[in-house]
């Protein structure tokens, strides 16, 4: 009987490493590279307060918030 991938599996691998793991690693490497390349200061305006912070903190926080949101949404799927 043919082995079918379980729900949520990437469906393949390269040298024992799943496509999903490779994709996550690529996104993390590109995000870190982008953060390290943007080191200037940034001013962020919320509705009323204004925050000035180094760009790497802003980008890292944004990446972390997006990763957390993606994890939460994926965990709440049927």
DSSP string, the chain: ----PPTT--S-EETTEEHHHHHHHHHHHHHHHHHHH--SEEEEE-SS-EEEEEHHHHHHHHHHHHHHHHHHHHHT--
Q: Is the pLDDT of residue 10 over 50?
A: no
Q: pLDDT per residue over 18-74, tens digit each?
A: 888 899 899 889 988 887 888 888 888 888 889 898 888 888 888 889 989 988 888
Q: Is the pLDDT of residue 1 over 70?
A: no
> What pTM does this model have?
0.55
Residue 3 has pLDDT above 60, yes or no: no
pLDDT of residue 5: 54
């Amino acid at each position: 009987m043919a082995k079918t991938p379980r729900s949520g599996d990437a469906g393949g691998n390269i040298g024992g490493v799943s496509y999903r793991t490779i994709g996550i690693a690529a996104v993390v490497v590109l995000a870190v590279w982008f953060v390290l390349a943007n080191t200037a200061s940034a001013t962020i305006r919320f509705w009323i307060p204004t925050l000035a912070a180094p760009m790497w903190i802003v980008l890292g926080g944004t990446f972390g918030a997006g990763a957390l949101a993606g994890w939460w949404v994926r965990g709440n799927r049927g």
